[in-house]
Chains A and B, each alone.
Chain A
Amino acid sequence: MLTRRQLLQSALAPTHFPASARAVIFLFMPGGPSQIDLFDPKPELRKWHGKPLPVEATKDLKLAFIKPNANAVASPRQFARHGGSGAEISDLLPHTARQADQLCIVRGVHTDAFNHDPGELMLMTGSMQFGRPSMGAWVNYGLGSESRNLPGFVVLSSGAPPSAGTNDWSNGFLPSAYQGTQFRRSGDPILYLSSPEGFTREMQRSRLDVIRRMNEKRRRETGDPEIDARIASYELAFRMQSAAPELLDLSSESARTLEMYGVNREPTHQYALHCLLARRMVERGVRFVLVSHGSWDDHNDIDKGLDKNCRITDQPSAALIADLRQRGLLDSTLVIWGGEFGRTPMTQQQRTDIGYGRDHHPNCFSMWLAGGGIRAGVTVGKTDELGLEAVEDRIHVHDLQATILHTLGLDHLRLTYPHSGRDFRLTDVAGLVARKLLRRPPA
Chain B
Amino acid sequence: MMAPAIFGVAFAAAGLWSLQPVQRPLAPADIDGFIRARLTREGLKPSPEAPKRVLLRRLSLDLVGLPPAPEEMAAFLADTSADAWARQVDRLLRSPHFGEKWGRHWLDQARYADSDGFRSDRFRPHAWRYRQWVIDALNQDMPFDQFTIEQLAGDLLPNATGNQRIATGFHRNTLTNREGGIDPEQFRVEQVIDRTNTTGTVWLGLTVGCAQCHDHKYDPISQRDYYRLFAFFNEADEDHMDAPMPGEWGPHLQARPEYDRKRRELLAAKNVPALQAEWEAGMIEAAAHPGKRLDWDHAFDDLRTDCEDGEKILRTPAAQRTRRQSKILTAYFLGNYGRVITRERKEQLQFDKLAKQLAELDKTLPALSEAPVMRAHARETRLLQRGDYKNPGEAVTAALLPLLPSTGVTRPARLDLARWLVSRDNPLTARVIVNRIWQEYFGRGLVRTAENFGSQGETPTHPELLDWLATEFMDGGWSMKRVHRLIVMSAAYRQSSITRSAVDAGNKLLARQSRLRLSAESIRDSALAASGLLAPDIGGPSVQPEEASGRDRYRRGMYIRQKRTAPHPLMVNFDAPSGYGALCRRNRSNTPLQALNLLNDPAFVEAARALAKRTEGAEFDERLNRMFALTLGRAPDADERAWLRAYLEQQPPAVAWTGVASVLLNLDEFITRE
Chain A contacts to B: CB under 8 angstroms: 63-65, 67, 114-117, 129-131, 151, 163-167, 170, 173, 175-177, 179, 181, 190-196, 198-199, 203-204, 206-211, 213-215, 217-218, 221-224, 226-227, 229-231, 233-234, 236-238, 240-241, 349-351, 360, 420-422
A299 nearest in chain B by CB position? B180
> Which chain B residues lie closer than 8 Å to A117 at the CB level?
118-119, 177, 179
Contact among A116, A190, A233 with B119 in the assembled complex (CB-CB below 8 Å): A116
> Which chain B residues lie closer than 8 Å to A163 at the CB level?
119, 179
> Which chain B residues lie closer than 8 Å to A226 at the CB level?
515, 517, 590, 668
Cβ of B306 within 8 Å of any chain A Cβ, yes or no, is no
Instruction: Evaluate contact between B515 and A224: CB separation under 8 angstroms.
Output: yes
Q: How far is the CA of A221 from the CA of B117 in the complex (A)?
A: 45
> Which chain A residues lie closer than 8 Å to B201 at the CB level?
420
> Which chain A residues lie closer than 8 Å to B177 at the CB level?
117
> Which chain A residues lie closer than 8 Å to B565 at the CB level?
164-167
Instruction: Evaluate contact between A214 and B640: CB separation under 8 angstroms.
Output: yes
Instruction: Evaluate contact between B575 and A195: CB separation under 8 angstroms.
Output: no
> Which chain A residues lie closer than 8 Å to B573 at the CB level?
176
Contact among A67, A170, A181, A223 with B498 in the assembled complex (CB-CB below 8 Å): A223
Shortest C-beta distance, A4 to chain B (Å), equals: 14
Can you list 16 A-B pairs, Cβ within 8 angstroms, ordered by A? A115-B182, A116-B119, A164-B118, A166-B565, A170-B578, A191-B593, A196-B602, A196-B662, A203-B655, A206-B650, A210-B644, A223-B499, A233-B592, A237-B596, A420-B207, A420-B451
Shortest C-beta distance, A298 to chain B (Å), equals: 14
> Which chain A residues lie closer than 8 Å to B497 at the CB level?
222, 224
Interface of B is mostly: loop
7 further A-B pairs in the complex, CB-CB below 8 A; given A151-B593, A177-B589? A163-B179, A167-B565, A190-B593, A193-B600, A213-B643, A237-B596, A422-B452
Q: How far is the CA of A176 from the CA of B449 in the complex (A)?
A: 19
Instruction: Evaluate contact between B595 and A233: CB separation under 8 angstroms.
Output: yes
> Which chain B residues lie closer than 8 Å to A238 at the CB level?
595
Cβ of B659 within 8 Å of any chain A Cβ, yes or no, is yes
- B567-609 interface (Cβ within 8 A of A): 567, 569, 572-575, 578, 580-581, 587, 589-597, 599-602, 605
Identify the stretch in B56-64, B161-169, B291-299, B348-356 within 8 Å (CB) of chain A at 4 or more residues: B291-299
Given A214-B640, A221-B498, A236-B592, do A199 and B655 touch, yes or no (CB 8 Å)?
yes
Given A196-B605, A226-B517, do A176 and B587 touch, yes or no (CB 8 Å)?
yes
Cβ of B14 within 8 Å of any chain A Cβ, yes or no, is no
Instruction: Evaluate contact between B647 and A206: CB separation under 8 angstroms.
Output: yes
Given A115-B181, A222-B674, do A350 and B207 touch, yes or no (CB 8 Å)?
no
Instruction: Evaluate contact between A198 and B654: CB separation under 8 angstroms.
Output: yes
Q: How far is the CA of A175 from the CA of B575 in the complex (A)?
A: 8
Cβ of B667 within 8 Å of any chain A Cβ, yes or no, is yes
Q: How far is the CA of A218 from the CA of B597 in the complex (A)?
A: 21
Cβ of B323 within 8 Å of any chain A Cβ, yes or no, is no
Cβ of B666 within 8 Å of any chain A Cβ, yes or no, is yes
Cβ of B289 within 8 Å of any chain A Cβ, yes or no, is no
Instruction: Evaluate contact between A203 and B651: CB separation under 8 angstroms.
Output: yes
Number of interface residues of B (CB under 8 A): 75
Q: Which 8 A-B pairs have the closest CB atoms?
A: A64-B181, A421-B452, A223-B499, A237-B595, A131-B580, A165-B565, A130-B580, A237-B592
Instruction: Evaluate contact between B600 and A218: CB separation under 8 angstroms.
Output: no
Cβ of B663 within 8 Å of any chain A Cβ, yes or no, is yes
Cβ of B175 within 8 Å of any chain A Cβ, yes or no, is yes
B181 nearest in chain A by CB position? A64
Instruction: Evaluate contact between A165 and B566: CB separation under 8 angstroms.
Output: yes
Cβ of B539 within 8 Å of any chain A Cβ, yes or no, is no
Instruction: Evaluate contact between A218 and B567: CB separation under 8 angstroms.
Output: no
Given A176-B589, A233-B595, A421-B456, do A207 and B449 touch, yes or no (CB 8 Å)?
no
A224 nearest in chain B by CB position? B515
- B633-648 interface (Cβ within 8 A of A): 639-640, 643-644, 647
B498 nearest in chain A by CB position? A222
> Which chain B residues lie closer than 8 Å to A115 at the CB level?
179, 181-182
> Which chain B residues lie closer than 8 Å to A208 at the CB level?
599
> Which chain B residues lie closer than 8 Å to A191 at the CB level?
569, 593, 596-597
Shortest C-beta distance, A153 to chain B (Å), equals: 12
Contact among B457, B500, B639 with A421 in the assembled complex (CB-CB below 8 Å): B457
> Which chain A residues lie closer than 8 Å to B652 at the CB level?
198, 203
- B330-361 interface (Cβ within 8 A of A): none
Instruction: Evaluate contact between A421 and B449: CB separation under 8 angstroms.
Output: yes
Instruction: Evaluate contact between A233 and B515: CB separation under 8 angstroms.
Output: no
Instruction: Evaluate contact between A421 and B175: CB separation under 8 angstroms.
Output: no
> Which chain B residues lie closer than 8 Å to A164 at the CB level?
118-119, 565
Shortest C-beta distance, A79 to chain B (Å), equals: 29
Q: How far is the CA of A217 from the CA of B674 in the complex (A)?
A: 15
Cβ of B564 within 8 Å of any chain A Cβ, yes or no, is yes
Q: How far is the CA of A130 from the CA of B574 in the complex (A)?
A: 19
Instruction: Evaluate contact between A422 and B517: CB separation under 8 angstroms.
Output: no
Q: How far is the CA of A130 from the CA of B456 in the complex (A)?
A: 23
Shortest C-beta distance, A127 to chain B (Å), equals: 11
> Which chain B residues lie closer than 8 Å to A214 at the CB level?
640, 643, 663, 667, 669
> Which chain B residues lie closer than 8 Å to A114 at the CB level?
181
Cβ of B454 within 8 Å of any chain A Cβ, yes or no, is yes
Instruction: Evaluate contact between B593 and A181: CB separation under 8 angstroms.
Output: yes
Contact among B117, B118, B600, B651 with A195 in the assembled complex (CB-CB below 8 Å): B600
**Bitwise interface map of B from 171 to 204 toward A, beta carbon under 8 Å scored 1, else 0:** 0000101011110000000000000000001000
Instruction: Evaluate contact between A192 and B451: CB separation under 8 angstroms.
Output: no
Q: How far is the CA of A233 from the CA of B590 in the complex (A)?
A: 7
> Which chain A residues lie closer than 8 Å to B291 at the CB level?
67
Instruction: Evaluate contact between B179 and A166: CB separation under 8 angstroms.
Output: no
Q: How far is the CA of A222 from the CA of B668 in the complex (A)?
A: 11
Q: How far is the CA of A209 from the CA of B591 in the complex (A)?
A: 18
Shortest C-beta distance, B24 to chain A (Å), equals: 27
Q: How far is the CA of A176 from the CA of B175 in the complex (A)?
A: 23
- B447-487 interface (Cβ within 8 A of A): 449, 451-452, 454, 456-457
> Which chain A residues lie closer than 8 Å to B644 at the CB level?
210
Q: How far is the CA of A351 from the CA of B343 in the complex (A)?
A: 13
Shortest C-beta distance, A210 to chain B (Å), equals: 5
> Which chain B residues lie closer than 8 Å to A211 at the CB level?
663, 666-667
Q: How far is the CA of A210 from the CA of B639 in the complex (A)?
A: 11
Q: How far is the CA of A242 from the CA of B201 in the complex (A)?
A: 45
Shortest C-beta distance, B664 to chain A (Å), equals: 9
> Which chain B residues lie closer than 8 Å to A236 at the CB level?
592, 595
Shortest C-beta distance, A215 to chain B (Å), equals: 5
Contact among A65, A195, A207, A421 with B451 in the assembled complex (CB-CB below 8 Å): A421
Instruction: Evaluate contact between B663 and A207: CB separation under 8 angstroms.
Output: yes
Instruction: Evaluate contact between A349 and B294: CB separation under 8 angstroms.
Output: yes
B664 nearest in chain A by CB position? A214
Instruction: Evaluate contact between A230 and B668: CB separation under 8 angstroms.
Output: yes
> Which chain A residues lie closer than 8 Å to B294 at the CB level?
349-350
Given A196-B602, A360-B181, do A130 and B515 touch, yes or no (CB 8 Å)?
no
Contact among B569, B595, B651 with A234 in the assembled complex (CB-CB below 8 Å): B595
A196 nearest in chain B by CB position? B605
> Which chain A residues lie closer than 8 Å to B600 at the CB level?
192-196
Shortest C-beta distance, B185 to chain A (Å), equals: 14
> Which chain A residues lie closer than 8 Å to B601 at the CB level?
192
Given A163-B119, A193-B596, A217-B640, do A130 and B175 touch, yes or no (CB 8 Å)?
yes
B574 nearest in chain A by CB position? A176
B591 nearest in chain A by CB position? A177
Instruction: Evaluate contact between A179 and B590: CB separation under 8 angstroms.
Output: no
**Which of A115, A214, A237, A240 neighbours the largest number of chain B CB atoms within 10 Å of its CB?**
A214
Instruction: Evaluate contact between A233 and B591: CB separation under 8 angstroms.
Output: yes
- B489-537 interface (Cβ within 8 A of A): 497-500, 515, 517
Instruction: Evaluate contact between A215 and B592: CB separation under 8 angstroms.
Output: no
Q: How far is the CA of A117 from the CA of B592 in the complex (A)?
A: 29
Q: How far is the CA of A234 from the CA of B182 in the complex (A)?
A: 45
> Which chain B residues lie closer than 8 Å to A213 at the CB level?
643
Shortest C-beta distance, A5 to chain B (Å), equals: 12
Shortest C-beta distance, B195 to chain A (Å), equals: 15
Instruction: Evaluate contact between A176 and B591: CB separation under 8 angstroms.
Output: yes
